[in-house]
A = this chain, B = another copy of it.
Amino acid sequence: MPPKVKTDAEKLAIRTVIIDAARDLFIHHGVDAVTMRGVANKIGYSATSIYLYFSDKEQLLRAVVDADALKLAQALHSTLAISDPLERFLQFAQHYVQFALANPNHYRMMFMTPHLPCDPALSSIEQHNPEQDGYAQLIGVATSACAAGIFKDEFNHPVLLAQTVWASMHGLCALQINMADDAWINWQPIEARIDFMMRMCLQGLLKVTPHE
């Protein structure tokens, strides 16, 4: 029984319904569980209908992840209000790690899975908008921390600092997400690893030993 004419708003709503269905499969059963037929089934559509809203599977998954990249930026946004630049930097990193570990599938999709070069034009995220763009936030936080003059001169390079600290946090999250179950390795508790990492980085970067 074929359909009625749809307004743009209705079409957008269906798009959202599809994305949510895909996300649900995605979160609970991993990427592999996201099949076009599976998503379609979940919303009572036929598989091919999804192609009316997304050009292919990759675009659908991209939309799912895009929405959650925005959620990441929003989760981080609250830390930007912290006045002390160092505390802001620390809380930003903490929240990043918390988000990653709380949303491992999305984190994997965003940062651990091969994907075509991301076209900013196709994203719903406005690049360099500090409310939406997590990377822009990171650069901002690193820049203001550098400006506060708390780091040793050799580390007072906002972009390098940002990308290196990011790499440290990413390393923690990525190994935890991918290798936590690996019987080969006697993992220490993730909290202990996070704490160790934070202290190591801070002691390396700061001019003076952080007050205990």
Residues of B within 8 A of A181 (CB): 117
Tell me if A36 is interfacial: C-beta within 8 Å of chain B: no
Interface size class of A (residues with CB under 8 A): 35 or more
- Nearest chain-B residue to A30 (Cβ)? B114
A window 147-187: CB within 8 A of B: 152, 154-155, 157, 159-161, 163-164, 166-172, 174-175, 178-179, 181-187
Residues of B within 8 A of A205 (CB): 200, 203-204
**Chain A residues near B (Cβ < 8 Å):** 30, 108, 111-114, 117-120, 127, 135, 152, 154-155, 157, 159-161, 163-164, 166-172, 174-175, 178-179, 181-188, 192-193, 196-197, 199-205
In the assembled complex, 10 residue pairs joining A and B whose CB atoms fall closer than 8 Å, in A order, are: A108-B114, A111-B178, A112-B174, A118-B184, A120-B183, A152-B203, A160-B193, A167-B172, A171-B174, A200-B205
